[in-house]
């Protein structure tokens, strides 16, 4: 996936199949390409989008759990303790 993001432009990522039979969501590819354009082709740039998505998902899970289970249940569901 890294090579596809490095070698292709934004439009190519939208409309062309990825090399080597790889697949990825279009939004993920575009956000990764923009991150690489902003921060360079470092490992940090390629890992930033998944990291931020996981932080947002954890926060949303906590909000949902708090709504369904209450504060104590949300704490247990989110932390596993």
Task: Kindly tell me if the per-residue pLDDT of 64 is higher than 90.
Answer: yes
- Measured CA to CA, the distance from residue 56 to residue 20 in angstroms comes to 30
> CB of 77 within 8 A of CB of 65?
yes
- Measured CA to CA, the distance from residue 2 to residue 57 in angstroms comes to 23
- Measured CA to CA, the distance from residue 24 to residue 31 in angstroms comes to 12
> CB of 36 within 8 A of CB of 9?
no
Mean pLDDT score of the chain: 92
Confidence of residue 72 (pLDDT cuts 50, 70, 90): very high
Task: Kindly tell me if the per-residue pLDDT of 16 is higher than 90.
Answer: no
Mean pLDDT of 49-62: 96
The pLDDT assigned to 36 comes to 95
């Amino acid at each position: 996936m890294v090579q596809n993001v490095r070698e292709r432009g934004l439009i190519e990522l939208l409309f062309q199949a990825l090399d080597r039979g790889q697949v990825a969501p279009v939004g993920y590819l575009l956000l990764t390409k923009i991150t690489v354009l902003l921060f360079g082709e470092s490992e940090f740039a390629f890992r930033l989008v998944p990291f931020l998505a996981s932080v947002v998902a954890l926060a949303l899970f906590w909000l949902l759990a708090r709504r369904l289970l209450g504060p104590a249940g949300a704490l247990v569901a989110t932390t596993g303790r």
